């Protein structure tokens, strides 16, 4: 080797070190190794790019200087000539083309005889998920077969207990929920109508989720802060022309002491103020307004801004104006007692149009409560939650909203396929079931018999065929199926809605007595027979199907996406617990396996 | 930079070039790029392995010498120290760990922000296929979603036409076929009994596949080479005590001229020889042996070896002794005319125990035919195939083997699950159907009515339930299903066997007249109704299911492996052609998509 070639080689080493260190600075983790050699005829540049964690290399002290020098190094990936030697091209080391089913070609990698396929292709092709995560000081690529999570249900099921795994449901923060109304204390849905409407399934799930949370997280004892039993002296800012005083008033339950107030009617005017300065976000109260006016809660956000949440007699459910939001209880409640149970953080969040809790704009503290107009106030409490109040609000809405058929009709019709439709005013067996499960729990909590009257009435539609305006389909004119979507002329046989309808029947059967009990048990038994006969049809060996449209209407199979698959898993686990038939347990185990990518055998 | 460090750097370059070239020799395509540098405190060794195609590098002339030197280079991947400098460790550039569903960790690669997952993991995890193939001068990794191939069926179906895509079937060369016997000219199966037995489905498929090949590849006109109509002078080696002469003999069809021969009885003795020296591998003849003896075909293999295939009156189907193989026609054929239609290449292959044609041991030429013992010979022909003869042999075997129930019972019982079984002597609806399709084609070819009598008799078992020893199941006691495996106490509802049974009914319905026609049409209509109701149950949205054991017995779904899936595709395409209902066509299209990895939508 001549001195010239030695020098040239050394210069290349120097250049490489500088390039490497350039890339290492600024937290860059991509290391470029480049190798060049030449004879007199041709020059060769080979390149290999790869990522390494900086942890593997302790950059020695004396390399600092080189780093500073290296800024004049040309951008490494684009280097095509060095020392005036022209290169004829370069290759990415380890690149191999992959032909996908002979139809398309993607670029893969090869290393030590193993071919590597891009994760982005795999994720798209196989509908799986992955992302790079930092674990301690190293980085790991997390491959996930499904998204979401399998949440177990409680080991025992009973009609007063946790419903399914509903403690994991957060109904009111979902996208499609406009707000929890002040008039009924239940969520308003925008899914099929942006103006908002009440949907029995959503109302029931709101009640059931809070009921489950209450059991598993506890229902905190609310702290009374003002009201008929305490002194009125806590109220501040009682200016001239305003008053707060304890008075006796007669109610249906007898005479009781409440706080009477009188103040300007405008919710932006001053009024008597009750200072709270609490981070507990739930305020409950009984309120009777005898004039326009209302109650204002002033809140402080985490970013230090103020917000004003007004509860008035407006008919509009929610009106937002800057940092003021009005929740309307409705004109009809003038002169009537209304029970408010407000998660103020949710009220604030919804006023922002936000669907998820978000730190910068999030509620931090209730500053105070201000009174407007003329009325009575009682039982003001603060707490971290009011789960049972939400359950009762849901149940009460179901009681007053049930129609003469015993159902909760949906006014929006739907077309679910060619000539397959739901006519406006349709009922859902899932709605009936979820309503029953809610009402039974409200009954178990309060002992109030009227809830059970609503339950008995709700059984009626289970007996009516979809063609008769009911919710019952029959598979091969033989097996009863309670339809989440009782489409006509052909049925849909949605699995999850059916089991929700069944759980309602189970709750009714175990809670009612007399004819209601007999009817509920008959409907349950008939449905259980169907489920055992038909369950396998939803099992693909790698996942589950949402419905049977592929059997009934010869459409393409409607594969359940992962969140429905995990719902199927929870529902079938609940059936295993309730019924004990080993087919439910073995199906449950298999469906859990599918979630983690394990398939059934092939022949 | 000192002279010492320059020298050291140059030596490293030299070492690297030698390592690279070492790896490039012997067709090795793995390139190792290693980079080492050090300061006074620590030494660093960075490594990157990657595969490149040799095409990218034209190795210059002056490197040849270095290659020869390089054999003393230490094994590159394990190098940890150079020049006496100890290294503190190394990293594989671009390695990133992949956590699989949080349950296991595999080693992946990372390059330019993209993660790459090993193909070996993907293949196993997702049940897909891949291999590296050379395409011209480059290498490509072929990713295949399924194995096998989707073969189309003919655009029109009729009972005398090609059955399904059976021109692609090669029944007699399958693993489980011992040989095609000389006594019946049909394949002998070893699947459930190594001693061998005849299985109606295999016999029928042998006939149907040759029938299909005959239509699509043509039935070559056989060339007469010797026999009653030609001179006997072509026979050589007619030594003292032997004779060949044309004589008149009376047959059922009247008097005809045949070749009478007389020679030593031992098949290894000399005898009259007919030289053929033909590469056409199919020899047909009518042979009557009136003493022990037989016919020997001498063949030449591609590797220049001789083989001797003897057709005798032995009862053993096939006896192999070195390069001699005896095919027995059975003692019962003494003094009777036997029609031989031999694919000599297959006869030779089977004597070797080979299942696939294999060049070095493969048949190349029929050298000659030698006669032994006393008997008559007629209609000796050579050709490249005798497809129709094979169909007739299959049909004739079906005629003589049909039992009093009209079926072809299987003597081996089976257990297909817990307490689910097939008792010895069971019939298969698939067997009935495939037999009918064969017989109808033999009738269409010959006009021989006796084939149709067998067809009519074969319809009987379609009407008998599995519990009564028949082949008919009923889904939900309602939908007739013709069972490939009529298991009791519960049914299996195998899809492919059912459609094969249906195609037999269609062939019967379109060929028979009178009561047979009426019965076949009734059975067809009933089955068609069931298929339309139940077809969706076999569709998983990503593939198909083999049967309904998951619905009936709550077992795990029995996913159809790819060769069954492609059979499903062909069968449903045939149904689309025959029936015209668009559900068959749309299902066909979807199932083809699945084969290429396209799935149905999820909800």
For position A189, what pLDDT does the model report?
93
CB proximity list for B258: less than 8 A, separation 6 or greater: B227, B228, B246, B247, B248, B249, B286, B376, B377, B378
Q: For B406-423, write each residue's pLDDT tens digit.
A: 999 998 888 877 778 898
Q: A55 in contact with B at a CB cutoff of 8 Å?
A: no
**Residues of chain B found within 8 Å of residue A142, distances taken between Cβ atoms:** 98-99, 102
CB B412 within 8 A of CB B424: yes
Q: How many CB atoms sit inside 10 A of residue A142's CB?
A: 16
pLDDT (average), residues A233-242: 87
**Residues of chain A found within 8 Å of residue B556, distances taken between Cβ atoms:** 539, 541, 590, 600-601
Could you say which of 3.40.190.150, 3.40.50.720, 2.40.30.170, 1.50.10.10 is the CATH number of the domain covering A166-171+210-216+390-595?
Answer: 1.50.10.10
Is there a contact between B111 and A109 if contact means CB atoms under 8 Å apart?
yes
CB contacts under 8 A, A 89-108 vs B, are 91-103, 105, 108
Out of A9, A535, A557, the one facing B540 most closely (by C-beta) is A557
Dihedral sign for Cα A221, A227, A229, A235, please.
positive
Q: Is the pLDDT of residue B295 over 70?
A: yes
CA distance B460 to chain A (A): 28
pLDDT (average), residues A373-395: 95
Is there a contact between B51 and A110 if contact means CB atoms under 8 Å apart?
yes
Q: Considering chain A, what is the average pLDDT of its residues?
A: 84
Question: pTM score, two decimals?
Answer: 0.82
pLDDT (average), residues A428-452: 97
Q: Is the pLDDT of residue B84 over 80?
A: no
Q: How many CB atoms sit inside 10 A of residue A460's CB?
A: 17
**Lowest mean per-residue pLDDT among A91-105, A464-478, A567-581:** A91-105
Angle at B63 between CA B60 and CA B65, to 5 degrees: 140
Q: Is the pLDDT of residue A235 over 60?
A: yes
Q: Is the pLDDT of residue B560 over 90?
A: yes
pLDDT (average), residues B585-601: 96
How many secondary structure helices (H) and strands (E) does chain A include? Answer: 13, 28
**Lowest mean per-residue pLDDT among A204-218, B215-229, B330-344:** B215-229
Q: For A483-522, write each residue's pLDDT tens digit.
A: 999 999 999 999 999 999 999 999 999 999 999 999 999 9
CB contacts under 8 A, B 226-245 vs A, are none
Q: Is the pLDDT of residue A447 over 90?
A: yes
**Residues of chain B found within 8 Å of residue A602, distances taken between Cβ atoms:** 127, 546, 558-561
User: Closest chain B residue to A582 measured between Cα atoms?
Assistant: B554
pLDDT-derived band at A158, boundaries 50, 70, 90: very high
For position B48, what pLDDT does the model report?
30
**Residues of chain A found within 8 Å of residue B57, distances taken between Cβ atoms:** 44, 46
**Residues of chain B found within 8 Å of residue A7, distances taken between Cβ atoms:** 6
CB B10 within 8 A of CB B21: no
For position A195, what pLDDT does the model report?
85
Angle at A251 between CA A249 and CA A254, to 5 degrees: 90
Most confident of A43-52, B11-20, B375-384: B375-384
For position B49, what pLDDT does the model report?
29
CB B527 within 8 A of CB B512: no
* Long-range contacts (CB closer than 8 Å, 24 or more residues apart) made by B304-313: B306/B367, B307/B348, B307/B351, B307/B363, B308/B267, B308/B268, B309/B342, B309/B344, B309/B347, B309/B348, B309/B351, B310/B267, B311/B182, B311/B287, B311/B340, B311/B342, B312/B267, B313/B289
User: Closest chain B residue to A143 measured between Cα atoms?
Assistant: B100
Q: For B537-559, write each residue's pLDDT tens digit.
A: 999 999 999 999 999 999 999 99
CA distance B357 to chain A (A): 27
pLDDT-derived band at A249, boundaries 50, 70, 90: confident
- What does the block give as tokens for B562? 């790819």
For position A103, what pLDDT does the model report?
87
- What does the block give as tokens for B222? 């056989």
Which residues are paired to A285 by β-bridges? A340
**Residues of chain A found within 8 Å of residue B99, distances taken between Cβ atoms:** 140-143
CB contacts under 8 A, A 476-535 vs B, are 476, 478-479, 533-535
What DSSP string runs through B270-308? ---EEEEEES--EEEEEEEESSS-EEEEEEEETTS-EEE
Which of residues A65 and B601 earns the better pLDDT score? B601
User: From residue A337, how far is each of A265, A381, B361 by CA, in Å?
Assistant: 18, 16, 99
**Lowest mean per-residue pLDDT among A134-143, A221-230, A342-351:** A221-230
Out of B7, B13, B41, the one facing A60 most closely (by C-beta) is B41
**Residues of chain B found within 8 Å of residue A138, distances taken between Cβ atoms:** 97
Q: For B364-397, write each residue's pLDDT tens digit.
A: 899 999 999 999 999 999 999 999 999 999 999 9
Q: What is the helix (H) or strand (E) element at residue A246, kind and residue range?
A: strand A243-251
Distance from C-alpha of A498 to C-alpha of A483, rounded to nearest angstrom: 6
How far from the centroid of its chain's Cα atoms is residue A383's Cα? Answer: 24
**Residues of chain B found within 8 Å of residue A45, distances taken between Cβ atoms:** none
User: Closest chain B residue to A585 measured between Cα atoms?
Assistant: B554
**Lowest mean per-residue pLDDT among A529-538, B57-66, B308-317:** B57-66
For position A175, what pLDDT does the model report?
86
Distance from C-alpha of A322 to C-alpha of B407, rounded to nearest angstrom: 85
Bond preceding residue A489 cis, omega within 30 of 0: yes
Closest CA to A562 of B127, B596, B597, B101: B101
Out of B49, B126, B552, the one facing A126 most closely (by C-beta) is B126
CB B382 within 8 A of CB B280: yes
Question: In degrees rounded to 5, what are phi and psi of residue B538?
Answer: -95, 0
For position B418, what pLDDT does the model report?
72
CB A185 within 8 A of CB A327: no
Q: B7 in contact with A at a CB cutoff of 8 Å?
A: yes
For position A6, what pLDDT does the model report?
54
Give the CA dihedral A90, A94, A100, A106, nearest 10 degrees.
Answer: -40
User: Closest chain A residue to B57 measured between Cα atoms?
Assistant: A44
Distance from C-alpha of B65 to C-alpha of B62, rounded to nearest angstrom: 6
Distance from C-alpha of B174 to C-alpha of B145, rounded to nearest angstrom: 25
Q: For B37-76, write each residue's pLDDT tens digit.
A: 333 333 332 333 222 222 223 323 332 222 222 222 233 3
CA distance B32 to chain A (A): 9
**Residues of chain A found within 8 Å of residue B17, distances taken between Cβ atoms:** 37
For position A13, what pLDDT does the model report?
58
**Residues of chain A found within 8 Å of residue B561, distances taken between Cβ atoms:** 602-603
Is there a contact between A91 and B545 if contact means CB atoms under 8 Å apart?
no
What DSSP string runs through B333-393? GTTSEEEEEEEHHHHHHHHTT-SS--GGG-EEEEEEEEEESEEEEEEEEEES--HHHHHHH
**Residues of chain B found within 8 Å of residue A108, distances taken between Cβ atoms:** 116, 119, 141
Is there a contact between B590 and A556 if contact means CB atoms under 8 Å apart?
yes
For position A361, what pLDDT does the model report?
61
Q: A28 in contact with B at a CB cutoff of 8 Å?
A: no
Distance from C-alpha of B130 to C-alpha of B112, rounded to nearest angstrom: 24
Q: A354 in contact with B at a CB cutoff of 8 Å?
A: no
Out of B10, B93, B127, the one facing A1 most closely (by C-beta) is B10
CB contacts under 8 A, A 131-190 vs B, are 132, 138-145
Distance from C-alpha of A457 to C-alpha of A436, rounded to nearest angstrom: 10
User: Closest chain A residue to B558 measured between Cα atoms?
Assistant: A602
CA distance B594 to chain A (A): 11
- What does the block give as tokens for B293? 């003896």
For position B227, what pLDDT does the model report?
57
Q: How many CA atoms lie within 13 A of A330 on its CB side?
A: 11
User: Which one of A62, A112, A536 makes the best mutation probe of the B interface by having the most chain B beta carbons within 10 Å?
Assistant: A536
Is there a contact between A536 and B557 if contact means CB atoms under 8 Å apart?
yes
Closest CA to A144 of A156, A132, A155, A158: A132
Q: A561 in contact with B at a CB cutoff of 8 Å?
A: yes
Q: Which 3 state secondary structure label does DSSP give B183?
A: coil
CB A296 within 8 A of CB A347: no
Q: How many CA atoms lie within 13 A of B46 on its CB side?
A: 24
Residues recorded for chain A: 603
Q: Is the pLDDT of residue A113 over 90?
A: no
User: Which one of A556, A579, A590, A599 makes the best mutation probe of the B interface by having the most chain B beta carbons within 10 Å?
Assistant: A556
Do β-strands A374-383 and A282-289 pair in parallel, antiparallel, or remain unpaired? antiparallel
For position A222, what pLDDT does the model report?
84
**Lowest mean per-residue pLDDT among A108-117, A528-537, A565-574, B211-220:** A108-117
**Residues of chain A found within 8 Å of residue B141, distances taken between Cβ atoms:** 96-99, 108, 110, 115
Distance from C-alpha of B124 to C-alpha of B129, rounded to nearest angstrom: 8
Q: A320 in contact with B at a CB cutoff of 8 Å?
A: no
Closest CA to A20 of A43, A45, A54: A54
Which of residues A32 and B106 earns the better pLDDT score? B106
Is there a contact between B142 and A596 if contact means CB atoms under 8 Å apart?
no
Q: For B483-535, write each residue's pLDDT tens digit.
A: 999 999 999 999 999 999 999 999 999 999 999 999 999 999 999 999 999 99
Which residues are paired to B261 by β-bridges? B244, B375
- Residue contacts between A and B (CB atoms, under 8 Å): 330
CB B214 within 8 A of CB B387: yes
Out of A35, A58, A545, the one facing B33 most closely (by C-beta) is A35
CB B163 within 8 A of CB B211: yes
CB proximity list for A415: less than 8 A, separation 6 or greater: A421, A422
**Residues of chain A found within 8 Å of residue B546, distances taken between Cβ atoms:** 602-603
How far from the centroid of its chain's Cα atoms is residue A80's Cα? Answer: 53
Q: Which CATH class is domain A220-384?
A: mainly beta
Q: Which 3 state secondary structure label does DSSP give B191?
A: coil
Is there a contact between A1 and B14 if contact means CB atoms under 8 Å apart?
yes
Q: Is the pLDDT of residue B194 over 70?
A: yes
For position B223, what pLDDT does the model report?
83
Q: Is the pLDDT of residue A19 over 80?
A: no
Q: What residue spans define the domains of chain A?
A: 75-144, 166-171+210-216+390-595, 220-384
Distance from C-alpha of B74 to C-alpha of B79, rounded to nearest angstrom: 7
**Residues of chain A found within 8 Å of residue B142, distances taken between Cβ atoms:** 98-99, 102
Question: In degrees rounded to 5, what are phi and psi of residue A68?
Answer: -65, -35
Is there a contact between B94 and A52 if contact means CB atoms under 8 Å apart?
yes
């Amino acid at each position: 080797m001549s001195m010239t070639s030695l020098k040239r080689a050394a210069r290349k080493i120097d250049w490489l070190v500088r390039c490497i260190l350039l890339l290492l600075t600024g937290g860059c983790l991509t290391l470029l190794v480049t190798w060049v050699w030449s004879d007199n005829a041709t020059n060769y540049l080979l390149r290999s790019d790869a990522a390494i964690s900086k942890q593997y290399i302790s950059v020695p002290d004396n390399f600092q200087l080189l780093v500073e020098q290296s800024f004049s190094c040309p951008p490494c990936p684009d280097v095509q000539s060095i020392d005036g030697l022209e290169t004829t091209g370069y290759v990415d080391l380890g690149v191999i083309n992959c032909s996908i089913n002979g139809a398309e070609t993607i670029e893969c990698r090869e290393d030590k005889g193993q071919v590597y396929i891009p994760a982005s292709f795999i994720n798209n092709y196989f509908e799986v998920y992955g992302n790079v995560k930092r674990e301690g000081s190293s980085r790991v690529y997390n491959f996930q077969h499904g998204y979401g999570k399998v949440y177990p249900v409680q080991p025992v099921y009973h009609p007063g207990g946790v419903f399914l795994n509903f403690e994991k449901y957060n109904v009111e923060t979902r996208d499609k929920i406009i707000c929890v109304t002040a008039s009924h204390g239940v969520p308003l849905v925008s899914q099929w109508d942006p103006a908002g409407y009440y949907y029995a399934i959503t109302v029931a799930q709101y009640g059931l989720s809070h009921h489950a949370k209450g059991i598993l997280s506890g229902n905190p004892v609310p702290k009374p802060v003002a009201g008929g039993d305490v002194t009125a002296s806590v109220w501040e800012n009682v200016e001239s022309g305003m008053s707060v005083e304890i008075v006796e008033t007669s109610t249906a339950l007898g005479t009781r002491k409440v706080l009477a107030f009188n103040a300007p009617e405008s919710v932006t005017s001053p009024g008597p103020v009750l200072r709270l300065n609490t981070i507990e976000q739930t305020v409950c109260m009984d309120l009777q307004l005898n004039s326009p006016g209302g109650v204002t809660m002033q809140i402080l956000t985490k970013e230090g801004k103020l917000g004003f949440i007004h509860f008035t007699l407006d008919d509009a459910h929610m009106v937002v104006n800057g940092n003021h939001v009005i929740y309307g209880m409705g004109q009809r409640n003038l002169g009537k007692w209304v029970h408010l149970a407000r998660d103020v953080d949710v009220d604030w969040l919804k006023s922002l149009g936000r669907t998820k809790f978000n730190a910068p704009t999030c509620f931090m503290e209730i500053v105070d409560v201000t009174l407007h107009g003329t009325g009575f106030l009682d039982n003001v409490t603060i707490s971290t939650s009011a789960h049972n109040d939400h359950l009762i609000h849901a149940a009460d809405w179901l009681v007053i909203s049930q129609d003469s058929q015993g159902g909760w009709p949906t006014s929006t019709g739907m077309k679910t396929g060619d000539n397959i439709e739901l006519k406006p005013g349709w009922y859902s067996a899932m709605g009936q079931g979820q309503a029953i499960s809610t009402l039974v729990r409200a009954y178990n909590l309060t002992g109030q018999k009227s809830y059970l009257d609503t339950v008995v009435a709700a059984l009626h539609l289970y007996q009516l065929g979809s063609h008769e305006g009911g919710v019952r389909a029959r598979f091969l004119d033989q097996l009863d199926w309670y339809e989440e979507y009782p489409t006509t002329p052909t049925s849909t046989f949605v699995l999850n809605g059916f089991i929700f309808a069944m759980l309602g029947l189970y709750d009714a059967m175990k809670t009612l007595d007399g004819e209601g009990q007999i009817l509920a048990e008959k409907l349950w038994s008939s449905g259980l027979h169907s489920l055992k006969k038909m369950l396998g049809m939803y099992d693909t060996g790698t996942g589950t199907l949402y419905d049977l449209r592929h059997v009934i209407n010869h459409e393409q199979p409607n594969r359940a996406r992962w969140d429905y698959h995990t719902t199927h898993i929870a529902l079938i686990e609940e059936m295993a617990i309730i019924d004990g038939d080993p087919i439910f347990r073995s199906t449950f185990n298999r469906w859990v396996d599918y979630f983690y990518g394990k398939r059934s055998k092939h022949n």
